[in-house]
């Protein structure tokens, strides 16, 4: 581990604390080391949520430009509901241990954005603006995981392509927006 943010530091501390309690007190405790897992429940300040919601708003004519930072970073993105399946399987094992949960592949942020816009029949170049002020001071350029142990031991395999992930995110976000509007109007 080499965390580069307070969030990452807290997750690393939690990981080692879990191991300490598992080994020191014989507790059934596991850590799921989850790579970026996306859903419509993501907060507005996360880049994938910003991209998905922004692209939908552009497609609906409610927004024209989406401002983003560094598009060269690569990430291993997956669909949160699939990761929850892996979490459940971790808890069903006879012996507690830690597992890496990821898609096993990565894609650049630029390619992710292009694919989102393509699914909405939008041109990336017409609607995305790079804003250097959105670049992170400390950011990993490339991040992806190897989930082979999780596949082998849990019989779990991430089965969505990046395009399928994006389709799920767009569909879920549209439903989420409708639900939010319904709640706001009731």
Confidence of residue 5 (pLDDT cuts 50, 70, 90): confident
Q: Is residue 111 a contact partner of residue 68, using CB atoms and an 8 Å limit? A: no
Dist. CA 85–CA 66, nearest whole Å: 33
End-to-end, the C-alpha distance of the chain in Å comes to 47
**19-73 pLDDT, tens per residue?**
999 999 999 999 999 999 999 999 888 999 999 999 999 999 999 999 999 999 9
pLDDT at 120: 98
pLDDT of residue 160 exceeding 80: yes
Q: Where are the alpha helices (DSSP H) in the chain?
A: 6-25, 47-59, 80-90, 109-119, 124-127, 148-154, 162-184
- Please give the domain boundaries of the chain with CATH numbers for all domains: 1-30 (no CATH), 40-80+105-145+158-184 (3.90.25.10)
Across 149-174, average pLDDT: 97
pLDDT at 135: 81
Across 149-173, average pLDDT: 97
Token pair of 104, please? 């096993």
């Amino acid at each position: 581990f080499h965390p580069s943010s307070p969030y990452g530091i807290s997750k690393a501390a939690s990981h080692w604390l879990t191991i300490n309690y598992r080994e020191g007190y014989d507790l059934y405790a596991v850590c799921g080391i989850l790579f970026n897992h996306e859903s419509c429940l993501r907060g507005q300040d996360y880049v994938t949520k910003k991209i998905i919601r922004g692209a939908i708003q552009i497609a609906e004519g409610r927004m024209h430009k989406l401002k983003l930072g560094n598009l060269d970073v690569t990430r291993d993105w997956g669909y949160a509901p699939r990761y929850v399946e892996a979490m459940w399987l971790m808890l069903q094992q006879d012996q507690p241990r830690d597992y890496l949960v990821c898609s096993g592949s990565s894609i650049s942020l630029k390619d992710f954005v292009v694919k989102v816009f393509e699914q909405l029949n939008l041109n990336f170049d017409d609607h995305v603006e790079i804003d250097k002020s959105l670049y992170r001071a400390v950011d990993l350029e490339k991040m992806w995981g190897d989930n082979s142990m999780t596949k082998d031991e849990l019989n779990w395999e991430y089965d969505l392509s990046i395009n399928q992930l994006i389709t799920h995110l767009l569909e879920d976000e549209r439903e989420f927006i409708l639900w939010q509007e319904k709640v706001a109007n009731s």
